[in-house]
């Protein structure tokens, strides 16, 4: 209880810092480019165009009944949010050592700011995604109002992982390399480009369905592609890993945060 109260207090006190950090990331990211902030919309739009071009003509997995481009892009948008945000989170503590060593700032604010920053980018990529949804004739349905639930679960899952990675990488710098490999393996094990049904082995398929990212993507696909309401099990499969990741990530982070300064 005291922990929650302290957390709320520091969140209120440092919400200005949080906003400044997110703003800073935006400013610095597009600082020296001619098009500036327009890139945050243009970049995902163009990447999606490239992917759509490549995957609809060169590689093509079958996704019966639904548009493959929409299928692919949903998976990619979701997965990219996770991989980019968690990757950025991982280096936040190490990168901010000069700051942490000089003034007191609540350290959780750094991973949190990265998850929010990438989260805003994620919301911007939804614009080209919806363009694709409309252009491919996938169409809309009322179930789209359920998607914010999915975003929230994705955000919490990523944040929890981000806390864990940020804390661990302070003590084990090898994490930066290990996680890069883990991410690319994770990417191929997640049915982003292919349908999970092409996995013939039932046990393997079951194991793959335990992947939280797959469950989050499946939720979105159920809504966007099948125009269906996800089952209660699907709701639970999104929330459970998110809460678990938050619990473990926060605990690991909180338990170790006072020792960060010794490992610079």
Partner 1 sequence: MDNAMIRADGLGMQFNLGVEKGFSLKQGFVDLFDPKKRAEKNRRADFWALRDVSFSVSRGEVVGLVGANGAGKSTLLKLVAGVLKPTEGSLLVRGSICPMIELGAGIDMELTARENIYLNAAVMGYSERFIHSKFDEIVAFSELEAFLDVPVRNFSSGMVARLAFSVATVVEPEILIVDEILSVGDLAFQAKSEEKMLQMIGGGTTVLYVSHSTASIRSLCSRVIWLDHGRVLAIGSADEICSRYESSALPCLDPGAAS
Count CB atoms within 10 A of the CB of residue 137: 8
- Cβ atoms of residues 86 and 154 within 8 Å: no
- Which residues 6+ apart lie within 8 Å of 94 measured at CB? 169, 170, 173
Dihedral of CA 237/241/246/248: which sign?
positive
Nearest distance in Å: CB 17, partner 1: 4
Nearest distance in Å: CB 259, partner 1: 9
Binding test (CB under 8 A) with partner 1, winner from 76, 100, 168, 245: 100
Gap between the Cα atoms of 118 and 82, Å rounded = 9
Gap between the Cα atoms of 109 and 114, Å rounded = 9
When the beta carbons of 99 and 120 are compared against partner 1, the nearer one is: 99
- Chain positions 167 to 186 lying near partner 1, rule: CB under 8 A, are 171-173
Binding test (CB under 8 A) with partner 1, winner from 1, 2, 31, 50: 31
Angle ∠(60,61,62) on CA atoms, nearest 5: 115
Binding test (CB under 8 A) with partner 1, winner from 11, 45, 51, 105: 105
39-57 and 109-135 helices, crossing angle to 10°:
50
Nearest distance in Å: CB 8, partner 1: 16
When the beta carbons of 60 and 259 are compared against partner 1, the nearer one is: 259
Gap between the Cα atoms of 30 and 33, Å rounded = 6
- Chain positions 34 to 93 lying near partner 1, rule: CB under 8 A, are none
Nearest distance in Å: CB 115, partner 1: 18
Binding test (CB under 8 A) with partner 1, winner from 33, 62, 101, 184: 101
Nearest distance in Å: CB 173, partner 1: 7
What does DSSP assign to residue 35? Answer: S
When the beta carbons of 2 and 50 are compared against partner 1, the nearer one is: 2
Gap between the Cα atoms of 75 and 52, Å rounded = 13
Scanning 25-33, 41-49, 134-142, 229-237 for contacts with partner 1 by CB under 8 A, the matching segment is 25-33
- Which residues 6+ apart lie within 8 Å of 20 measured at CB? none
x-or-dash string of contact with partner 1, 2-21, rule CB under 8 A? -----------xx-xx-xxx
Nearest distance in Å: CB 251, partner 1: 18
Binding test (CB under 8 A) with partner 1, winner from 64, 65, 98, 202: 98
For residue 225, which of 65, 56, 62 has the smallest C-alpha distance? 65
DSSP state letters, 184-245: HHHHHHSTTSS-GGG---HHHHHHHHT-HHHHHHHHHHHHHTT--PPPHHHHHHHHHHHHHH
Scanning 52-60, 131-139, 156-164, 166-174 for contacts with partner 1 by CB under 8 A, the matching segment is 166-174
- Provide the binding-site residues for partner 1, judged by CB under 8 A: 13-14, 16-17, 19-21, 24, 27-28, 31, 98-105, 171-173, 258, 261-263
């Amino acid at each position: 209880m005291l922990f929650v109260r302290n957390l709320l207090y520091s969140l209120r006190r440092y919400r200005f810092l949080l906003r400044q950090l997110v703003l800073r990331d935006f400013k610095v990211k597009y600082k020296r480019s001619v098009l500036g902030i327009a890139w945050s919309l243009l970049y995902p739009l163009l990447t999606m165009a490239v992917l759509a071009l490549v995957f609809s003509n060169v590689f093509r997995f079958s996704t019966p009944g639904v548009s493959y481009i929409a299928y692919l892009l949903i998976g990619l948008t979701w997965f990219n949010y996770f991989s980019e945000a968690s990757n950025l989170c991982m280096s936040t503590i190490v990168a901010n050592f000069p700051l942490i060593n000089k003034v007191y700032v609540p350290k959780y604010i750094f991973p949190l700011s990265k998850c929010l920053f990438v989260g805003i980018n994620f919301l911007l990529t939804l614009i080209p995604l919806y363009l694709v949804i409309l252009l491919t004739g996938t169409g809309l349905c009322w179930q789209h109002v359920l998607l914010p639930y999915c975003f929230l679960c994705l955000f919490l899952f990523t944040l929890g992982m981000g806390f864990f990675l940020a804390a661990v990488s302070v003590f084990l710098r090898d994490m930066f390399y290990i996680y890069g490999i883990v991410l690319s393996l994770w990417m191929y094990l997640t049915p982003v480009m292919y349908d999970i049904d092409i996995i013939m082995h039932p046990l393997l398929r079951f194991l793959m369905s335990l992947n939280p990212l797959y469950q989050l993507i499946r939720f979105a696909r159920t809504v966007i592609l099948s125009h269906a309401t996800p089952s209660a099990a699907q709701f639970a499969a999104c929330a459970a890993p998110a809460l678990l990741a938050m619990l473990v990530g926060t605990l690991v982070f909180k338990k170790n945060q006072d020792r960060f300064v010794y490992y610079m």
